[in-house]
Amino acid sequence: MKGGTLKGMALALLSAVVGSAAAEAPLPLVELGAGMYRIEAELAHTDSARRIGLMNRREMPVHRGMVFVFPALATHCMWMRNTLLPLSVAFIDEAGRIINIEDMQPQTESNHCAAAPARYALEMNLGWFAERGVKPGDTLRGIDRLPAPR
């Protein structure tokens, strides 16, 4: 092999490894609360994190979830393409009040939408909200401390 070809291959490999590591870097955790329950939520406030969401995850701890911070107040929708876990999603307004909660089945492309304009969505394991009596109209703690979307 010529030096240039070997060097090019090495740079391509390094780029792939660095890119892969960046894509798999853990998201920051934020603390939210619902009633007496503490939630550790992975923060999806960038386009990339919102696009990937919880895809390809095989499990999630009981009080762990993912909070999506949207750049605009709108009737956002979620779907489950490449998502292996059954999830419930709470759509949340700017004040932290739950608008509606939808249950979502794995690997489907059905849209699950906010019933009114939402700024946030919180995905938890399927049934998490119902099992704890958390319902539309309840307000989540910690929403006011979330960073702005990027």
**Residue pLDDT, tens place only, 90-112:** 999 999 999 999 999 999 999 99
CATH among 3.10.129.10, 3.20.20.60, 2.60.120.1140, 1.10.645.10 for 28-145: 2.60.120.1140
Q: Where are the domains of the chain?
A: 28-145
Record the tokens describing residue 18, joined without a space: 């660095």
- 8 Å CB contact between 114 and 100: yes
d(CA 74, CA 57) in angstroms, rounded, equals 27
pLDDT band, very low/low/confident/very high, at 25 (cuts 50, 70, 90): confident
| For range 122-129, the mean pLDDT | 98
